[in-house]
Structure 1
Amino acid sequence: MEKRTGVVTFHGKPLTLIGPELRVGDKAPDFRAVDNDLKPTTLADFAGKVVVLSAVPSLDTPVCDMETRRFNMEAQKLGDGVQILTVSMDLPFAQKRWCGQAGVQNVRTLSDYQEASFGSAYGVLIDGLRLLARAVFVVDQEGVIRFVHIVPELTHEPDYGAVLDAVRALL
């Protein structure tokens, strides 16, 4: 599996990512993760929708918490043609607990803990830590990547405005 350096840092310390560098125009790779009820879920399950894939290291950290709450709020305004998925290595039970406590109902959380299928397919699996780098991918209704934002520093939030502009351009 391909390894990439110089893409992201954690508190300034360089990390190595496993997987390919995906670009705008690439076919979005399918992946297999599990939802909060341990049900296998793939990208194909959302065919025909604009899909926002928000990869985060852990919902139990402040920045991931803020990011997922923000996307939950924005999801209400985007309508039924858009599905926002937050993917992390958190166990599905922890994701379900977090969503309940945070009141998150418009974003679906998926756990990549079993196979790291998402992380390795999207090139955001952090070598050695087995966490996902913070990144956002916007996939159009035909399954083509239309926006990629790998956040250079893990402790920073993504550019919400750019993500939302990319989504609205597809509606």
Structure 2
Amino acid sequence: MPDIFDQKQVDVWISEIETLPGQIKKAIENLTDDELDQTYRPEGWTLRQVVHHLPDSHINAYIRFKQAITEDIPTIRPYFEERWAETEEAKNGDIKLSIDLLAGLHQRWVAFLRTLKIEDYQRKYIHPAQNKELTLANMLGMYAWHGKHHLAHITNTITK
């Protein structure tokens, strides 16, 4: 993600985060359970696991953003996304629950992001697994990309 950014770029990233839940919902709305249970690549997650992963990941992002705004360079707590994806509800659960969670979460996250000033995006947190300080601008861009990345996993799999 670029170190140099402006309000226009931030607005683009926020818009991408805002529209992701609807795009995911549209991409999966007509899929059968068999289609949801296919992997997007050999040895990869199923589409169902990808859908459940998005709110898992983005709720952590939302909390990290809040911590970076309310604390002085906090060290965040990582989580084992691979293990989370292997839980029974992630492998077999109703995707509607995760779609609804993602939609509500993104509404709240976007509302929060739109209250921030451009200089707030220079605030940082420490990710211990990466052993470095990350700016909110970098992370906003990364999470906007993250959503599009997994949307592409879904759409590319269903068009094979």
In the superposition, the TM-score normalised over structure 1's length comes to 0.28
Larger proportion of strand? 1
In the superposition, the TM-score normalised over structure 2's length comes to 0.29
Larger proportion of helix? 2
**Bigger radius of gyration among the two:** 2
